[in-house]
Amino acid sequence: VERLLGKGYNVKVYDKNVNLSRIMGKNKDFLYNKLPHIQEILINKIETLKNHSDIIVITSKNSDIKDLLDFNGEIIDLVRVSKIENNLSNYFGICW
């Protein structure tokens, strides 16, 4: 993410499991050291992600990720959300 930001890309991150106000200690230190811009790029609604993205990269198998499959832009799936997406023309599965 930092590399993409450094190259001028507008990056947003959606992860329903990340709540910045609840992260503490070494986890918080690690997150802010690796992604110092996390507060600006983390969004909490999947609809926001769909409405403001050209490309979505799926990196986890959260149950709400399937809500992205009607997305109009390109979808790159790194974890194989499920087998039904193989018929979508904008869906690309890699690394599985």
Q: Are 16 and 34 in contact (CB under 8 A)?
A: no
3-23 pLDDT per residue, tens: 888 899 999 999 888 899 999
Which residues are 77's β-sheet partners? 58, 93
Q: How confident is the model at residue 25 (pLDDT cuts 50, 70, 90)?
A: very high
30-48 pLDDT per residue, tens: 999 988 889 999 999 989 9
For residue 86, the model assigns a pLDDT of 64
CA-based radius of gyration for the chain: 14
Q: Which residues contact 48 (CB under 8 A, 6 or more apart)?
A: 12, 14
56-92 pLDDT per residue, tens: 999 888 878 778 878 889 999 998 887 666 678 888 8
For residue 17, the model assigns a pLDDT of 85
